[in-house]
Amino acid sequence: MAEVLAAWLAVAIGRRPEVAWALAAALALYLGVTHLYLEWPTFPWWYNVGVAGLAAPAVLLGGKMAGRFRPTCHAGLCGLASRTRTMKTICALAFALFATGSAQGQPAPTPPPPPTGPAPTGIIVGSGNYFSPIVANLDAAVAFYRDGLGLDVQGQPGDANANLPLRNMFGLPDATLRWQIARSPAAPGGVEIIEVTNSDGKAVDRRFDDVGAATLVAIVRDLDASRTKLAQLGARVVTRGGQPITAASKARAIAYKDPAGHFVQLVQPAQLPATAAPPASNVAAVGVTLTVADLRQSIRLYADALGLKVLRAPTAPGAVGFPAMFDISAEPTAVATLQVPTSGILIDLVEFANARRVQGRIQDPGSTRMQLRVNDIDEAVAAFKRFGGEVVSTGGMPLDLPAGNSTLKVAIVRDPNNLFVVLIQAPPPAG
């Protein structure tokens, strides 16, 4: 609308239809560079494409609408009118460019910067995709996270059919891998959903209090809206009674299992935390909860050896509602909270007395991955091995993974609690 009005005024002031063509060309160049290059990561893709692609046609439409009011040049006045129109044309173009440029900045304000965590102090320097469920049916899982939770999934699934190094990273050179990433503007990275077939995968069915259970925690603005969407998908509710539980803090929460058996907890707090997510995004923050066999050992590995920050030291939580929330028999004996450097992702660790160990392989639906970025992959692998972890990538050691114009050093390790951690070491900066 701004382009149509600006072009109408420009042609009306300049009294030359060529003004519209000049304005359309200038605006197309300006908005193309701005929205298809400079601001592409800032706004949604559909907004960038729409602004860059529709501006010029809108300007020409406005110019055409104004063309009918073009006056006739009367004898004896054409020379003066021509000089006057030249100045008016220049002024009109300047006004129109300013008006349309200003208007384009208004519909989608720049979102606040993503949350940031502490500066790296150890081997781990950040995270990639913070929750990566292994699933049997990619389409069903994508529907759960996209249509149920409201995460953003774009494009077609990727596959590793022609990417042997990627299959080797999984330690599955003969498997078929397909994936899609569901993202939220609330946090860097995303939920990387991976379907593994042709690998003899067997479903892993864990309770929340089983060692190896991983839970995606989503802080939402409207819990009931999410529940309605998940109910339409037939999502399995884990919470006893099938209804949200209200805590003393007035927060409401409920737990589900995704189609492959991964836990997802939705929490609507009484007051939302600071978030990078725009108001239209129902998911305002994300985190991960891991059930571990030995909480203090896990802290020695992830905090002392690898460099995650301890936000909450191990404590006995008391009666906080885990049994009803996750349909289990007892509260955890200890909980702690870690934070990933740079990305700020929070990881809650929970320990239960006499917890079962339910082992799963990387190809088994119900297993979970998490990506962590490191500055020295060999040191990271050595740290995991000291605590009983093992490399599952082909060859039992880090390998090279081509990525665009560079090559990453990568490895997948199974940690002592059966979480599969993808270690990624980026090449050092050039120069």
What's the gap between Cα 178 and its chain centre?
A: 18
Measured distance between the N- and C-terminal CA atoms of the chain, rounded to whole angstroms: 48
Least confident span in 15-29, 74-88, 255-269: 74-88
CATH C-level class of 124-425? alpha beta
Would you kindly state where each structural domain of the chain is located, as residue ranges? 2-104, 124-425
Q: What is the pLDDT of residue 54?
A: 64
Question: How far is residue 155 from each of residues 24, 32, 239, measured CA to CA in Å?
Answer: 31, 22, 33
Q: What is the pLDDT of residues 274-312, one digit of tens each?
A: 898 999 999 999 999 999 999 999 999 999 999 999 999
Report pTM. Answer: 0.74
- Band of the pLDDT at 233, cuts 50, 70, 90? very high
- Band of the pLDDT at 319, cuts 50, 70, 90? confident
Strand partners, 300: none
User: Are the C-beta atoms of residues 158 and 180 closer than 8 Å to each other?
Assistant: yes
- Token code pair at residue 352: 């239960």
Q: What is the pLDDT of residues 188-204, one digit of tens each?
A: 999 999 999 999 999 99
Q: For all residues of the chain together, what is the average pLDDT? A: 83
